[in-house]
Amino acid sequence: MKESEYQRRRECVSCSLKKNSLAIIFSARAQIRSNDTEFPYRQDSNFYYLTGFKEDNAILILRRGKRTTESYLFVQKKVKELELWTGKRVGVKAAKNSFKHDNIFISDRFEEKFLSFMKEHQYIYYDFTFEDKQVDFIREKTKHLSAHFNIATLIAKERLVKSPAEIKLIKKALEITKEAHHYAKDYASELSKESELQAGIEYIFKKNGAYSDAYTSIVACGNSANTLHYISNDKKLVDGELILIDAGCEYEYYASDITRTIPVNGKFSKAQKELYEMVLDVEKKIISMVRPNILRSSLQEKSEELLCKGLVSLGILKGDVKKLLQKKKHKKYYPHGIGHWMGIDVHDTSPYKDEKAKEIPLMPGMLMTIEPGIYIDKDDKNVPKRYRGIGIRIEDDILVTHEGYENLSKHIAKEISEIEGRNS
């Protein structure tokens, strides 16, 4: 992504600050796993969104005066002895050539510069959830100020609408995710365990240059699919059962989020097909409703109505649909939301309501998942036996456009004819 993209974002956030303000955004800290080993490092999403800088021990300061805005980046000093252990650092000199800020300093100078800047500013912004000794330093040195604001709230608003450059990266992530899901549908019958299938999916992510999975993959065979956040992925792949696969990669910090439900042996049984077609029909109808100015809550309500009707038609629920909805009887089988924002984070932190607690309508450039599902536990004696132990979710990534929507993941097989066909 071009540096001009990050500059534009910093300018937008800076202009949202009160005049005479300082905003401080910290990089993620390296996390110790055991003794002198660390977890793989991933930059804080907000810090990366504003800088494109991938190293730890970095800080961004945004200054807004009465008429101008400025940005300052602080980076880790290059130390040859440390680089022997942890790898090369960008350093100040190279950072000045690659990142366009008003000035760039070594991180050791942050406290000095912050105190100097504070003499000219009366408002302070930082991420209230960030816990660090430098945040403690900020709180201590600015406790005389009555106005502290959460910078994460402003950045979250900015992240709501995706730029063309962001959409391009998400499309690339989805190309890789397509290959992984198509591998799963074509080769699941040749594997023995959920973990083998997960390994194949994530190998494809890494092989194609994705940083990693965008979230912990769910590979849930049979009744395991009825645990919504099932991540143990350690059961056998059983012939005749379905596998719910919720897996997406992260490419250049941008996520994909896809769920497909496929038969282990490549063919749906009659009961599986009945449930699957019902969920797929609901998903298509909800996707077709996406357009500017519609409310996410409207999509939720309609998905519940349609799924409840489907459950009644299959004999899983009995009674009047309107009364069943009022009593929330369908929630036993469809307990989650219709979808969520996504972008740099698979569940983007952008708001669903404005400052007045009014729901934010969809706008062009917003990106959300649409993911209806039905989950029927194997021990649910209230359900016809043929449907017990089946969990189905179908999820796509939907971009809101001026005309309506674009299904960015439409190329990932989900029609029964596509799933039952190989190598497509």
Residue of 44, 56, 246, 283 marked active site: 246
- Beta-sheet strands, E only, within 337-419: 367-370, 373-376, 390-393, 396-400, 405-407
Pairing of strands 69-75, 103-106: parallel
Known active-site residue 340:
yes
Residue of 9, 63, 296, 393 marked active site: 393
The helix/strand/coil state of 55 is coil
**Distance between CA atoms of 152 and 94, rounded to whole angstroms?**
28
Residue of 36, 190, 239, 355 marked active site: 36
- The torsion defined by the Cα of 375, 381, 384 and 388, in degrees rounded to 10, comes to 40
Known active-site residue 281:
no
Known active-site residue 229:
yes
Known active-site residue 136:
no
Closest CA to 89 of 99, 104, 77, 97: 77
Q: How far apart are the first and last CA of the chain?
A: 31
Residue of 181, 182, 340, 388 marked active site: 340
State the alpha helices, DSSP H only, in 52-193.
80-86, 91-98, 110-118, 133-141, 151-158, 164-187
Known active-site residue 121:
no
Residue of 125, 211, 276, 375 marked active site: 375
Residue of 345, 371, 396, 397 marked active site: 371
Show Cβ contacts of residue 387 under 8 Å, excluding neighbours closer than 6 positions: 271, 274, 275, 314, 316, 376
Other CB atoms within a 10 A radius of the CB of residue 340 amount to 18
Give the torsion sign (CA, 353, 358, 362, 364): negative
Known active-site residue 402:
no
Residue of 229, 320, 402, 403 marked active site: 229
Radius of gyration of the chain (CA): 24
Q: What is the DSSP track for 297-336?
A: HHHHHHHHHHHHHHHHHTTSS-S-HHHHHHTTGGGGT--S
C-alpha distances in angstroms, 100 versus 52, 61, 242, 397? 11, 13, 51, 33
Known active-site residue 187:
no
**Distance between CA atoms of 398 and 284, rounded to whole angstroms?**
11
Known active-site residue 144:
no
In DSSP terms, which residues pair with 11 in a beta bridge?
A: none
Residue of 179, 347, 380, 386 marked active site: 347
Backbone angles phi, psi at 23, to 5 degrees: -120, 135
Residue of 257, 283, 348, 397 marked active site: 257
Residue of 42, 148, 291, 336 marked active site: 336
Which amino acid, 152? A
Residue of 395, 396, 397, 405 marked active site: 395
Known active-site residue 36:
yes
Residues annotated catalytic, as ranges: 36, 229, 246, 257, 336, 340, 347, 371, 375, 393, 395
